[in-house]
Amino acid sequence: MAFKRTINAVDTHSGEPMRVITGGVPHIPGNSVYEQMRWLEQNDDQLRLFMLREPRGYPPLCCNLIVPPKHPDAAAGYIIMEQVEYPLMSGGNTISVATVLLETGMIPMQEPVTEFQLESPAGLIGIRAECSNGKVTQVTFRNVPAFAAHLDAVIDVPHLGKVTVDVGWGGMFYVIADVRQFESLRLVPEMGREITRVSSLILKAAQEQLPVAHPDYPGIGITISQLSGQIDNSPYNWKNAVTVASGPVDFDNPATWTGTLDRCPCGTGMCAKMATLHAKGQLKVGELFRNESPLGIPWNGRLVGETRIGDYTAVVPTIGGQSWITGYSTYVLDPTDPFVNGYTIGDIWAVK
């Protein structure tokens, strides 16, 4: 049978499921990975829908497409795809992409440490992979600069009331709220439904009330929300729950007050959090920042320098974590399949 599409991919998880496409996608035009991402978004968004929606995908799943790098210093490029957007950067996806490139031999592995650079849509990302017996045991990446856009802003959230939030850029714009504002809410898996309800309402309110602008990426707004809390009241030991949207939020439609929890500690979310803590004088350059996901998976972060992004004082963060390969797959599109873009249903998706 001649299939309409045949895609080769490696499935991984870092808590969060991350799919990495290694073959089956033709040449994508563009002079940078950012331009390639925009071309894909405008001309072949069917690939993202095909890989992430049912029956091949499900709400928490992310996907990455490995592409030839355009920057001379990069060993590979990658385009990140999520349920409602093409992020410029993602920490968990970066860790998974680096793991797949090394463990499949697409980039030669050097033990005990392999160092290289990847070209993300946001720019060059430095990779330091610790390796042993053919396995990647830890990936530490040097991210693009992060900064705080709003600190201790009070927003009016329908159905919740007034909520105090920060907004930080870590490769995406995050609205971040301290979980202690919500009585009896804890960042544990069994409270996932309530976490996503609260977080989706905060996201919608922040989008409407807190304007943001990245000097290099005009038009990109707040797209993701994070509840954060200290562990044992330690200033350097935190836990977060990042809610990834699976559709638009409507204040008048409770069925849309949902999303999916990021099962990993969320690297760009950690970078945004560290940037806001630094801006408040609560995290210095060089200090260790430890963060857990709702599953209890720990990643380590550290600010390694300061810089500027436009008018913002910014910081350069590093994040270290691990990803595991879970399978190798070939995904196909039958020419008679009526659901060429996949499908969503309101039992687990935020379908408007």
Question: Is 347 part of any domain?
Answer: no
Question: Is 352 part of any domain?
Answer: no
Pair 163, 297 in one domain: yes
Pair 111, 237 in one domain: no
Pair 259, 113 in one domain: no
Pair 82, 135 in one domain: yes
Question: Is 344 part of any domain?
Answer: no
Question: Is 348 part of any domain?
Answer: no
Please give the pLDDT value at position 343: 95
Please give the pLDDT value at position 114: 98
Q: How far apart are CA 8 and CA 11, in angstroms?
A: 10
Question: Is 275 part of any domain?
Answer: yes
Please give the pLDDT value at position 147: 98
Pair 104, 178 in one domain: no
Pair 53, 11 in one domain: yes
Pair 298, 329 in one domain: no
Pair 244, 132 in one domain: no
Find where tokens 């996806």 sit.
Answer: 93
Q: How far apart are CA 84 and CA 62, in angstroms?
A: 10
Report the domain count for the chain: 2
- pLDDT, block means (10 residues), the chain with 352 residues: 93 97 95 97 97 96 97 98 96 98 98 98 97 98 98 98 98 97 94 96 98 93 96 88 91 92 96 98 96 96 96 97 98 96 89 70
Pair 136, 185 in one domain: no
Task: Report the CATH number that the domain containing residue 263 is assigned in CATH.
Answer: 3.10.310.10
Pair 22, 126 in one domain: yes
Please give the pLDDT value at position 351: 75
Question: Is 349 part of any domain?
Answer: no
Are 176 and 169 in contact, with CB atoms under 8 Å apart?
Answer: no
Please give the pLDDT value at position 233: 80
pTM for the model: 0.96
Please give the pLDDT value at position 352: 64
Please give the pLDDT value at position 22: 97
Pair 129, 171 in one domain: no
Question: Is 164 part of any domain?
Answer: yes
Pair 126, 260 in one domain: no
Residues with a known catalytic role? 90, 266
Q: Which domain holds residue 247?
A: 147-318
Question: Is 77 part of any domain?
Answer: yes
Residue 173 exposed, middle or buried by CB count within 10 Å (0-12, 13-18, 19+): buried
Q: How far apart are CA 109 and CA 135, in angstroms?
A: 9
